Homo-oligomer: A and B are copies of this chain.
Amino acid sequence: MLGHIARSLGRPKLLQSSLHSIRPVSMMPLWPLSSQPRDFSQPNSTWSPEMCKVYNHYNALCDTDTENGEKKRVPWRKLPSYNRSIKYATGGIHLSKMIKAQARLFTRNFKEQGATFEYVVFVNKEEKRCVCVFQAGHLLEGAPGYVHGGAIATMIDTVTGTLAGFLSGPIMTANLNINYRNPMPLGSVVLIHSALDQIERKKQYITCKVTSTDESKLYTEATALFVAISVDHLFGSQN
């Protein structure tokens, strides 16, 4: 819950910093934690050839410079991904200052590259959908040799919440309904497809499916419900 509220806080109307901002790094001068936060969704040496291939495919669909040096307008955008929450968030009423300072995003809390969640999200605003390329590391084990159902649920919450936050601003997860169709071996590279189903006032219904990179094999299907919230829920009202 509340897993993705901060993703859209980077929008100009709200705040200049975010957990999962939708804005490129170069547009975040007020990031409070360092002058140049690390974007964890950049390729690294632990990415398999399959992961790199799919990344390159979607990356090629994103903004590119034209011959005039200007950005070509395309519907796809790669979202950066950081590992820290914003510095001045008050958090829960039971939260100590120590915990606040040390807190890290669950999916980016591991220093060792390739060990847990390697992923990058590409979003298509026109079609109201996104695609995540996810490589499951060896520390995500559930049954021997397979990815833990909770790790898959975590990625589904992350990707559907990223889309919901991108489309509507701060949201909280209200429901996740996940059907596990096939076990996912550790080390797999998969696509997590997420699309807006419908909006009813403050409610966003999102669909999700997890497939092999060639989309021939279905691992998981899910629906998610997010509710738009006021940013006041996060900042100041509980301190």
Which residues from chain A sit less than 8 Å from chain B, CB to CB? 1-6, 19, 85-86, 89-96, 98-100, 102-107, 109-110, 115-116, 138-158, 161, 172-180, 182-188, 219-220, 233-234
A109/B175 contact (C-beta < 8 A), A145-B85, A148-B154, A150-B158 known:
no
Q: In the complex the two chains form, is B175's CB within 8 Å of A142's CB?
A: no
- Give the CA-CA distance A176 to B96 in the complex, in Å: 32
B146 near A155: Cβ-Cβ < 8 Å? no
Task: Give the residue name and chain of the B residue nearest to A84 (CB).
Answer: B141
Structural contact, B186 and A142, CB atoms closer than 8 A: no
Nearest CB on B from A234, distance (A): 6
CB neighbours (8 Å) of A174 from chain B are 179-180
Contacts of A157 in B (CB 8 A): 142, 148-150, 153
Q: What separation, in Å, do the CA atoms of A219 and B94 have in the docked complex?
A: 15
Cβ B1 vs Cβ A188 within 8 A:
no
Which of A109, A147, A150 is most buried by chain B, counting CB atoms within 10 A of its CB?
A150
Which of chain B's residues have a CB closer than 8 A to the CB of A85? 141, 143-145
| Closest chain B residue, CB of each to CB of A100 | B145
